[in-house]
Structure 1
Amino acid sequence: MALTVRFHEYGGPEVLRLDEVDPGEPAAGEVLIRVDAIGVNRAEALFRAGQYIEQALELPARLGAEAAGVVERLGPGVDGLEPGQAVSVVPAFSQNDYGVYAERAIVPARALLPRPSTVDAVTGAAVWMPYLTAYGAMAEVTGLRPGDVAVVTAASSGVGLAALHTAARLGATPIAVTRTRAKADRLLAEGAAEVVVSGEQDVAGRVLELTGGRGAAAVFDAVAGPGVVDLARAVAAGGTLLLWGAQSGRPTPYPGFELGMPALNVRTFTVQEITRDADRLRRAAAYVASGLRDGAFRAVVDRLFPLTEIAAAHRYLDSGARFGKVVVTVRR
């Protein structure tokens, strides 16, 4: 049996329960891992609350799509992995099929990346979702190029910080957007060329000012909602407004008509566009690994929680106070 986080009803962090569950045996193409650390993501909070892009098909439901651990057993037909090997789990599956908020969990082999000895479990659980998301959106989808300007909202989140680092490594100029001035200095220290405080400044106006009226080649937005109409004003002609989150929880209009039908590309994106495509995942993993080796990329971990305090971890995630990643460590 393994201590496993499940929710038996939708709701806030208080619905998360620690149950003793038999993880079972890995089937064809699956691997049983011992989980050492778990990356906590906004997608899991939304899934728990019944507000994610997919609903739980049945209750109780499991949670979690990002972790680091060690291979225990291989299912039939799994090659390239072996028991005792350190690995990271990347979000390449539905939480209706698998969940890694547990002491031991079964995951598809295609969702595992070997974890080198130089990468500890906390780092291995904290870097992949943010950097795969940032790389996929910036390099694979929008084709961000040296000299471009990239605007990143919710910049103090794990994905936001990874986006700042990735834009800089691609040779672009990252502009961070944050709600209050409290995190501005830390965002500058993380590589933002400029910080726009949305609670005090006109974001689009400031971006246009900073770019000499041209606007940004790409705006990467985690908030969505009615604000996208104004945010779209900050996009250069032919540029892209990419929505990779919906933190506002409000309906999101299409901004093109209200703005007079500019040359604007609007697109949604999730990391699974990368992780469920073997070729894209191979390229992305190689890029992120090279960034980790040369120091351009790193885990920015705000706070650690033990598995037994998973509800507290989700409350902290929901608070919006974090700067970087929330990670849960697994110890019995």
Structure 2
Amino acid sequence: MPTTARTVLFDDIGGPEVLRVEDVTLPDPAPGQVALRVEALGLNRAEVLFRSGTYYYQPSLPASRLGYEAAGVVTAVGEGVTELAVGDRVLTGPGIEMSAQGVYADRVVLPEASVLRRPAAVDAVTGAAAWLTYTTAYGALLETAGLRPGDHVLITGASSGVGTAAIQVARRIGAIPLATTRTEAKRQRLLELGAAEVIVPAEAGGAEGVAKEVRRLTGGKGAEVVLDAIGGPGFRPLAEALATGGTMVVYGWLDDRPAEIPRNWPFTIHTYANGALTSTPGGRRRSAAFLDAGLADGGLRPVVGEVFEGLDTIRDAHRLMESNAHTGKIVVRL
């Protein structure tokens, strides 16, 4: 029998004020689908961009849903579902189209391929903060850039959810993470999380200064990998931080101004979209195995900057995301 779910919707693009919570009828799971009771939601920069109309795909309005990442419990399964059962503790993330399947709700129905079993020791808040950040860091650094033990990697915007995850992923394989962050206030926290060095661009003299500092810290060699979330005019000078033959991976574009291709060849530029990896069975399997192993032994520890209580706080949670005042993930517990 269909149930009612409290669901976050929006009818127009705009700021956090466009978000509303409404009761929505939720159908029984169809073949290949599972129904979940959501316990916690993890916020991502992608959702802020989607809500404001600046994401790489546009919301279907009115009454668009929102959200990729949640942790919860399976309450029903459709015909043909074999990997999950009622009562399983799970998390979501791969293959979700937000307008139709967004997980900002207390109950959702999703394709089985978008739901993964949550490790037994992982609570809901941790689970909601884990999938997208760590699989993005894993896919960008290991599968795309080929980061190796002993390599230096420069991580821009390192206080974000992906940035803090990238520090831990680099440390887990024996690489050396160098981090940038906007404010001096976040430096100590990033050092505590495992960054070997933290550079504040405003203090270093902008992207040119960051590149010079990376050269100094690496004995003039440069970093084998740069993981960039920013783009824009700082992209070209930032590439001066690369070692000869190094790899630059762009996974975000927070500065939407034009960027020039750097000229300190030879090096490789990759763009990285997490869905390209996690939408394939093999990519999901490898990503999930890496994440599960790290969560199980404590080598991967999601950084949660703040926990809000209840769906009615979703506007405040989005305002915090836009303020950039937090370090790590923002989670809403239901």
State the TM-score, normalizing by the size of structure 2. 0.95
For residues 94 and 320 of structure 2, what CA distance do their matches in structure 1 show? 21
Whether 2:212 is the aligned partner of 1:205: answer yes
Task: State the alpha-carbon separation in 2 of the partners of residues 74 and 20 from structure 1.
Answer: 22
1:20 aligns with 2:27: no
Aligned equivalents of 2:257, 2:284: Cα separation in 1: 31
Structure (1/2) with the larger helix percentage: 2
Is 2:289 the counterpart of 1:282? no
Secondary structure at 1:282 match in 2: helix
Deviations 1:38-73 (A, max 9, x none): 000000010000000110133220001110001111
For residues 237 and 161 of structure 1, what CA distance do their matches in structure 2 show?
26
In structure 1, the partner of 2:228 is 221
Contact 2:144 2:270 in 1 (8 A): no
Gaps of at least 5 residues in structure 2 are: none
The share of aligned pairs that are identical, in percent, is 48
Q: Supply the AA of the counterpart residue of 1:78.
A: V
Superposed CA offset, 1:103-132 (max 9, x none): 111111111111133111111111111111
Q: Which runs of structure 2 are paired with 1:88-107 in the superposition (5 Å)?
A: 88-107=91-110
**Alpha-carbon shift at residue 195 of structure 1 (Å):** 0.6
Matched residue, 2:120: 117
Consecutive unaligned residues in structure 1, runs of 5 or more: none
Secondary structure in structure 1 of the residue aligned to 2:282: helix
- Per-residue CA shift, 1:259-293, capped at 9, x if unaligned? 3x511211211221221011121112111111112
Residue-by-residue CA offset, 1:15-45 (whole Å, 9 max, x unaligned): 0000111122222221111111000000001
Q: How does 1:1-332 map to 2 (within 5 A)?
A: 1-201=4-204, 202-248=209-255, 250-256=256-262, 259=263, 262-305=265-308, 306-330=310-334
SS at match of 1:133: helix
Q: Deviations over 1:76-120 (max 9, x none)?
A: 221111111111112322213311000111111111111133111
User: Are the counterparts in 1 of residues 94 and 115 from structure 2 also a CA contact under 8 Å?
Assistant: no
RMSD: 1.2
Cα pair 1:180 1:200 within 8 Å, conserved: no
Give every structure 1 segment of 4 or more consecutive aligned residues whose post-TM-superposition deviation is greater than 3 Å: none
Between stretches 16-25 and 316-325, larger displacement belongs to 16-25
